[in-house]
Structure 1
Amino acid sequence: MASSSATTATPQRVCSFEPSPWKDFFVQYEPEPLQIAEECMRVKADKLKVDIRMLFQTLGSAVEEKMTLCDTLRHLGIDHLFEDEINMAINEIHKSDFKSGSLHEVALHFRLLREHGHWVSPDVFNKFKGIDGSFTNDIINEPRGLLSLYNAAYLSVHAEPELDESISLAKYHLELMRGNLKYPLSEQVKRSLEIPYPRTLKRIDVKSYIAEYNQEEAWNPSVLELAKLDFNLLQYLHQRELKEFCRWGNDLYEEIDLNYSRNRIVECYFWSHTVHYEQQYGQARIVLAKIFVIATLLDDTFDMHATLEEGRQLNEAIQRWDESAILLLPNYLKKYYVRLMKTFTEIEDELKLDYKYRVAYCREAFQTLCKHYQQESEWFHSSYIPSFEDHQKNALMSSGIPLLSVSSLVGMGDKATKEAFKWAIGCTDAVKACSIVGRLMNDMTAFKHGKNKMDVACSVDSYIKQYHVTSEVAMTMLDHVVQDAWKTSNQARFDHRALLPQVNQVISITKSMAFMYHHKRDLYTFSRMIQEKIRQQFIQPISL
């Protein structure tokens, strides 16, 4: 939601959203025939999976080799095929007596264990420091070690200033040497300086790593071939899903006829797929994408069109969640309300009996989102700028993250438990941190580009008013809040190890927010800027 500064009188809101750059493209799209028949690709992939599982066994107690294999599979986007093997390897690595003197290996050990919820002290890097506590000059000539240190340090939690210092030092020297590095390390440094590896979305960068992998010293042909096959097989699956999802979305938009809203059907699927790209999460992917669509319509209705009274009526109807509440609504919102309820019914009908309870959590989160949209509407129509603290309390929910966090779990089968839903809807730690990252990055993006003259005061406005600072100071301070929220996300892995898959799922949503609002650009609203990314994911296969 693009937020902004309030004015002394309520202005007439005007829609200026770009039309969809895709229209019916994916409904009509017929991909080029696969280089190899799909069934043959699957048979070959299954054989390669057996080979790689055997590789885990042959490594035995070789900690460094196991770390490299686990990390390689993650970089190439095929770690989802070896979850059990990787989890077993990580547990063995955690229990091992690891005493490497390599900065790269120590940093990789630190990052892998922390990513999997195992605590590792930053003291492990002390061996690379002098008596004054500073890193020795020896590491300056180790670009691979510096890159590993840089990425590992982004898994810091609160009160770890030594890791913040590690980021600054590694970044400084990597930027100095980046022009002299050889491929592929040069490209990997470039990407990490853009977005640190622990904050990247696997599916977005996987093509780059696949292209670079055979330049590594100890690359494995079987691993590379499986990565290519798996990418293309998943892309083929995503193409079929996207065709059907676009039909569903186009039908919805045609029926409800809310022309003021963003038509982002393809982008909703793309966003959802960055969180759930694996084959087994097809249902989770579609549920989340549908929630993206109907939440966008709600957001734009409050932001761009509804009067104060119409917003109140819509909020009341959604809080009641009953077909009879349609009588409360203005005519132009009645079809939306019907499709809203129908969508939730569709989702519930497609779930197994034991999982139908999840829709109640999803509905509660949607109702909460609507209530907080209405609060922003009340502020807008009274030309009120709330305190920064009051703004944040409301914005944590109006960000939509609690809804997305709950929705992302609905179709995850046995991987999601009732405890996970209770945790997600409570909007604590990782969910709250994700809300902060998404909300503040969105607000700073909107403020920077001046897309804020027709909307409720955003967090930047509230901060400026409360603390009497310039917009530059406010933006700097809010960026510090965002960085702090990432540390809260990292801490959640240790605090909720029993819910680690769900915590990582929410962290994936956080990563998607960072991607969508990186460099203070709104890639969702102004979606032409991610057309090429969408083409890479859904149109362009990898040559086998």
Structure 2
Amino acid sequence: MAALNSNSFYHRPESKFPPSLWGDQFINHVSDSKVVEKYSKTVEVMKSDVRDLLTAPETKMVDTMHLIDTLERLGISYHFENEIEDRLQQFFNLDTNYHDDEAYDLYTVTLHFRLFRQHGYPISTEIFRKWTDGNGKFNESIKSDAKGMLSLYEASYLRIRGETILDDALAFTTATLKSMVPDLRSPLKKQVERALVQPLHFGIPRLESHSYIAMYEEEEIRNETLIKFAKLDYNLLQMQLKEELQQVSRWDFGELSGLPEYMRPLYKAILELYIQFEEELAMEGRSYAAYYAIEGLKELVRCYFEEAKWFIKGNLPLFEEYLKLGLITSTFGYLVPSSFMGIGYARKEDFEWLRKKPKILVAACTIGRLVDDVGSYEGEMERGQLAIGVESYVKEYGVIKEEAMAKLMEIAMDAWKDTNKEMLRPSCYKSRDLLTVILNFERLVDVTYKDKEDGYTHPEKVLKPLIVDMFVDAFQV
């Protein structure tokens, strides 16, 4: 690309974004208060029954852990956070001997590992050694255990840097499960097929719940009460989300002088939005929160401007130079403090912590930037844009684009390991709820750019069915 001088007329490549897929259906949503009341009453009764199951002292650890996993995958565990935390802490402190007890098969051990890791308990990977040979490789004999292999596969996504046994586990289980699929029967076949496309730990929890509810219904051993509970609760939350969508579906904008026509609505919306935020937060004694979101937006715009200069001049920076800027243009440095504004217990010290770019935020920005770069590469090249991330790596290291994209995904996967480490106790130095906000942004990236697809630019294939599941189609109960 030829460099442009200051007198050159620059024509910005246009993205052919499709029109809105949704029309005015969210704007026109009307909630049925009678249905909400009916569902809510039924859910309250069911909550009491499930709480009794969770807290029953005579229930075996294996059965309770299985119940916790089922509740989480059905999307109703948030009703029992304290009870689940108490049980997991109790079980973790037992220091269970997973090696010698025959009751702890591959499925059970890997399930326990995943649950403990998901909740921040630093359980050791040594519990997997009973299934490895003298060289640390997994025994071929476990390949016939499809349920256990699937559980090990899901557990491997909770690994941190240096846990080579789980790196090996991921490669081993992925290859084995792919070869098993044709011979499996549903619902296990459906679970394996979905996991190979969307690992549980990388998935958006509500969407994973929607998928699992349907598969759990096909299980031979299932709890019908939990199925009904999950469907009612999903529908209730969907109604709430529709009401929120109605409230945010765009604004009546006027014209603002002094700006190009196409920028005026956005500028006015941002100004009005943050004025409103500050007013509402002031009533909570948290007006300072809006400041950090605004500063994040300023930093984002400055970095966008620098990237634009690279593109206009046709310059390719060194990859590391690009990445320093790219971490900001991932947008998470702006979106995370914006999300914290809506969390009542997020205090000023939490925003200051974010401002210092903690490791988990850097990991999220890395994932957001590089997975985006890989997913949007083809589209950017077609539009005549400079796909800076991939092209910088190609030029600097003399590799082909496929090798560059593979390396970017490798760096992103290492960032996932950093996130997993930061979510563990005692290195978990902030509220896990706040850290989970950051984790969920990483999950959003994984889902949106699945299989190198740019779900933001072309939502029809990737995001449309997910949005339908989340906001449109309710479960029949």
Give me the TM-score of the superposition, normalised by structure 1.
Answer: 0.80
> Residue 298 of structure 1 corresponds to which residue in structure 2?
none
**Given the superposition, is the C-alpha separation of residues 43 and 430 from structure 1 closer, same or farther in structure 2, using an over 3 Å criterion?**
same
- Residue 423, structure 1, aligned to residue 353, structure 2: yes
**Given the superposition, is the C-alpha separation of residues 505 and 72 from structure 1 closer, same or farther in structure 2, using an over 3 Å criterion?**
same
Match of 2:437 among 483, 487, 505: 505
Give 2:278's aligned amino acid: E
Question: Which shows bigger deviation, 207-216 or 169-178?
Answer: 207-216
**Given the superposition, is the C-alpha separation of residues 137 and 374 from structure 1 closer, same or farther in structure 2, using an over 3 Å criterion?**
same
SS in 2 for 1:158: coil
Counterpart Cα distance in 2 of 1:61 and 1:497? 33
> Residue 13 of structure 1 corresponds to which residue in structure 2?
12
Cα deviation 1:292-313 (Å, max 9, x = unaligned) = xxxxxxxxxxxxxxxxxxxxxx
Give 1:152's aligned amino acid: A
Counterpart Cα distance in 1 of 2:391 and 2:286? 42
Deviation at 1:146, TM superposition (A): 0.5
Higher RCO (CA 8 Å, separation ≥ 6 residues): 1
Give 2:371's aligned amino acid: M
- Residue 517, structure 1, aligned to residue 432, structure 2: no
Within 5 Å, which residues of 2 pair with 1:14-93?
14-15=13-14, 16-29=16-29, 37-60=35-58, 62-93=60-91
- Count of residues in Structure 1 that have an aligned counterpart in Structure 2: 463
Question: Which shows bigger deviation, 44-53 or 527-536?
Answer: 527-536
Deviation at 1:413, TM superposition (A): 1.6
Counterpart Cα distance in 2 of 1:39 and 1:216? 30
Deviation at 1:61, TM superposition (A): 6.0
Deviation at 1:356, TM superposition (A): 2.0
**Given the superposition, is the C-alpha separation of residues 331 and 239 from structure 1 closer, same or farther in structure 2, using an over 3 Å criterion?**
closer
Q: Any stretches of 5+ residues in structure 2 without a counterpart?
A: 99-103
Question: Is the contact between residue 13 and residue 385 of structure 2 (CA under 8 Å) also seen in structure 1?
Answer: no
- Residue 404, structure 1, aligned to residue 335, structure 2: yes
Question: Is the contact between residue 13 and residue 454 of structure 1 (CA under 8 Å) also seen in structure 2?
Answer: no
Counterpart Cα distance in 1 of 2:35 and 2:22? 28
Deviation at 1:205, TM superposition (A): 2.3
Question: Is the contact between residue 108 and residue 152 of structure 1 (CA under 8 Å) also seen in structure 2?
Answer: yes
**Given the superposition, is the C-alpha separation of residues 76 and 60 from structure 1 closer, same or farther in structure 2, using an over 3 Å criterion?**
same
> Residue 234 of structure 1 corresponds to which residue in structure 2?
237
Counterpart Cα distance in 2 of 1:398 and 1:148? 36
Question: Is the contact between residue 381 and residue 387 of structure 2 (CA under 8 Å) also seen in structure 1?
Answer: no
Question: Is the contact between residue 377 and residue 387 of structure 2 (CA under 8 Å) also seen in structure 1?
Answer: no
Counterpart Cα distance in 2 of 1:147 and 1:59? 30
Give me the TM-score of the superposition, normalised by structure 2.
Answer: 0.91
Give 1:54's aligned amino acid: D
> Residue 196 of structure 1 corresponds to which residue in structure 2?
199
Counterpart Cα distance in 1 of 2:403 and 2:36? 55
> Residue 418 of structure 2 corresponds to which residue in structure 1?
488
Question: Is the contact between residue 286 and residue 347 of structure 2 (CA under 8 Å) also seen in structure 1?
Answer: no
Question: Is the contact between residue 137 and residue 168 of structure 2 (CA under 8 Å) also seen in structure 1?
Answer: no
Q: Percent identity?
A: 30
**Given the superposition, is the C-alpha separation of residues 510 and 223 from structure 1 closer, same or farther in structure 2, using an over 3 Å criterion?**
same
Question: Is the contact between residue 363 and residue 416 of structure 2 (CA under 8 Å) also seen in structure 1?
Answer: yes
**Given the superposition, is the C-alpha separation of residues 344 and 176 from structure 1 closer, same or farther in structure 2, using an over 3 Å criterion?**
same
Deviation at 1:206, TM superposition (A): 1.6
Counterpart Cα distance in 1 of 2:233 and 2:330? 34
Give 1:220's aligned amino acid: N
Cα deviation 1:218-265 (Å, max 9, x = unaligned) = 42222222111101111111122212221xx1535xx469xxxxxxxx
Within 5 Å, which residues of 2 pair with 1:266-415?
329-330=259-260, 333-351=263-281, 352-414=283-345
Deviation at 1:354, TM superposition (A): 2.3
Counterpart Cα distance in 2 of 1:461 and 1:72? 44
More helix by share: 1
Deviation at 1:419, TM superposition (A): 3.5
